[in-house]
Structure 1
Amino acid sequence: MAAERKPFPWGAGILLLLATVAAVAAGAVISSSRNDAWYSALSKPALTPPDYLFSLVWPVLFVLMAAGALMVLERAGTFERAVSPLGIYYTMLAVNAFWSLAFFGMQDTALALGVIAALWLLIIAMIQDFARFSRPAALLQFPYLIWVSFAIYLNLSILAMNSDS
């Protein structure tokens, strides 16, 4: 006899989506200052994408992140059974938003570099934990890992090019 399938935990799923949207909104509001005089005056590496590309890439990445987290939640059946990977997911959302605050809000490229390095490690941990529940959910996180790896290069380059040494 096949095991009975548990219904999807809708409450936890809705909270996950709301937290994701909140992180997207926080990052968008804070980084909208990208057009301000401070950011415009920064020296940037040659590989810096045009500003519009960021507003195209980030929504796609957040959809992939949320889809993976929902797959983990669905596979686990309850938030309690997925507390480790989803705890990492929620922490990652907060750290992602904090990077925007550190870089654009506080204009502290050194702090932002430390934050994004921590974010990169959280993504690695999230991928590993997601894989325990769903390999496809883990694979959906690789574009995010690649983008954040590129963002580390940008952050580090901006820090180096604009330091008063």
Structure 2
Amino acid sequence: MKFNPIAFVISLAIPLGAGALGSILTLSSVKTWYPSLAKPSFNPPDSLFPPVWTCIFILMGISSYLVWQKRAQIVHFPRTIAVYAIQLLLNIMWSFLFFYAKSPGAALFEIAFLLMAILVNAVMFYKIDKTAGLLFIPYFLWVCFASVLTYSIFSLNG
């Protein structure tokens, strides 16, 4: 398939934009409320989160571009895009619940749905393009870790 630079940039911009929106939602409490929380010993330094999430969103964008290139061959392309959009919205929702609403309990409940959506998205993408599906593995693993971290913070501060 011929490389389409405009589609590639759009494919990167969509998840990076979702990540930027999530970051905006964290601003109100990342320097005030969040530092006051008790955290587990395995909590990474705050400086680790932006580069990890940026890499994950870039991988997600590459993955979506690979699927987009095969859109003509996908019988249920709108459903595929809907699942992708849902997992992005759930990603943003976690930031809203945890940081903006300051509700680790609600974020813990919501992250279970995010994990399921990531898994469904990864499997759907894998069936279309193996590389596209495999690019979701770091995202899934990071959100598994985030789930444990969210649970720990909720437990320590409940």
Same fold (TM over 0.5): yes
**Counterpart AA for 2:15:** T
Q: How far does residue 13 in structure 1 lie from its aligned partner after superposition? A: 6.1
For normalisation by structure 2, the TM-score amounts to 0.89
> What is aligned with 2:36?
41
User: Paired residue for 2:99, among 99, 104, 108?
Assistant: 104
- Tell me the CA shift for residue 69 of structure 1: 1.0
2:57 to 59, 62, 68: 62
Pair 1:27-2:26 in alignment:
no
Contact 2:29 2:100 survives alignment (8 Å): no
Per-residue CA distance 1:30-81 (angstroms, 9 max, x = gap)? 1234533211110001110000000110000000011111101112237875
Aligned to 1:77: 72
Residue 138 of structure 2 corresponds to residue 121 of structure 1: no
Deviation at 1:133, TM superposition (A): 0.5
Equivalent in the alignment of 1:141: 136
Find the structure with the greater CA-based Rg. 1
Q: Identify the match of residue 149 of structure 2 among 151, 154, 157.
A: 154
Shift of residue 85, structure 1, vs aligned partner: 2.2
Q: Percent identity?
A: 32
TM-score, length basis structure 1: 0.85
Unaligned runs of 5+ in 2: none
Q: How far apart are the structure 1 equivalents of 2:16 and 2:98?
A: 20
5+ residue gaps, structure 1: 1-5
Q: 1:91 to 1:16 in 2, by over 3 A?
A: farther
Number of aligned residue pairs = 158
Kept in 2: contact 1:9–1:73 (CA 8 A): no
| Farther-moved stretch of structure 1 (21-30 vs 149-158) | 21-30
Name the aligned partner's letter for residue 80 of structure 2: P
Task: Give me the whole-angstrom Cα distance separating, in 2, the residues matched to 1:20 and 1:56.
Answer: 14
